[in-house]
Structure 1
Amino acid sequence: MNELSQEDFASLLAFRTGLRRYLRWSETRVREAGLTPAQHQLLLAIKGHGPQVAPTVGDLAGYLLLRHHSTVELIDRAERAGLVRRVRDADDNRVIRVSLTAAADRVLSELTRLHLAELQSLAPILDRLSTELKILEDPRHG
């Protein structure tokens, strides 16, 4: 790889700063909606898993990068808060699936609308960084 330029460092700084601002913004919006950031991530993992079949605890642990028991504790708290419900798998009674309540689905939909709009503001930074990375990877560069 070629020597790093000042522009490389500036691009990475702009990206990381934008990302940190987005995450801080996100945490604020999530708390205003009455959720913790971990609950928001859980709800997003459940909804993002897809409509065919609700995710298992193991699926959610994978999405959230948590250990199984930590995921179970998060689900327990979310269930007590009325955000999720556990259901036994129709084909295998040993498997527990987790789905959103109607209230959680409404809150998540509104938060997702806000988040997608906010991400639009990061798009120019991501586009610029992507272009610069492609240039750096080009063997003709340098």
Structure 2
Amino acid sequence: MPDKPDAPLLSKQDFQKLSRFRYQLRCFLRQSEDICRQHGLTSLQYQLLLHLRGFEGREWATVGELAERLQSKHHAAVMLVDRCAQLELIERRTGRDDGRRIEIHLLPRGAQLAEKIATQHQPELQHLDQALDLPGLS
């Protein structure tokens, strides 16, 4: 006979909070997908541009760093970089300090799209911030 815990590990309130969080997050993501589609991009393409624009300390990132930010496999990030390069949103450059490293840089069109799409995300981001009452989201 399996062990029965004396008390549930999570309360009803814990499940309600998690449900509310996942619902609000899904609403934000759906809205984001719609905004990206209006600009001819997929959500992942936008996220790549966003991470490049928002990369801390410099104006470029490596494919490995982008894969980490996107929580994807390296080869999937390579394919995404290839597609965005074909769309002339980004470009690969040989590393300035290390010629073996490839830097991924935003091109002007990619920077403009990132700016437009991020601006359109602000109302929904503020709504998410208020709905979740989490400091520092917006």
Same fold (TM over 0.5): yes
Gaps of at least 5 residues in structure 1 are: 131-142
Task: Tell me the TM-score normalized by structure 1.
Answer: 0.81
C-alpha deviations, 1:89-140, integer Å up to 9, x for none?
A: 1111110000111011111111111212211111222217x8xxxxxxxxxx
Among all aligned residue pairs of Structure 1 and Structure 2, give the percentage whose two residues are the same amino acid. Answer: 38
In angstroms, what is the RMSD of aligned CA positions? 1.9
- 1:77 Cα shift? 0.7
* Mapping of residues 45-56 of structure 1, within 5 Å: 45-50=51-56, 52-56=58-62
**TM-score using structure 2 length:** 0.83
Query: Which structure's relative contact order is higher, taking Cα pairs within 8 Å and 6+ residues apart?
Result: 1
**Count of paired positions:** 128
Aligned partner of 1:26 among 20, 32, 42: 32
Identify the residue that residue 35 of structure 1 maps to in structure 2: 41
Matching of residue 14 in structure 1 with residue 20 in structure 2: yes
Task: Tell me whether 1:69 sits opposite 2:75 in the alignment.
Answer: yes
> Residues of 1 paired with 2:11 and 2:59: CA distance?
48
Corresponding residue to 1:92 among 79, 92, 98: 98
More helix by share: 1
- Aligned-pair CA distance for 1:58: 1.1
1:60 partnered with 2:66: yes
Tell me, in whole angstroms, the C-alpha distance in 2 between the residues paired with 1:8 and 1:68: 35
One-letter code of the match for 1:93?
G
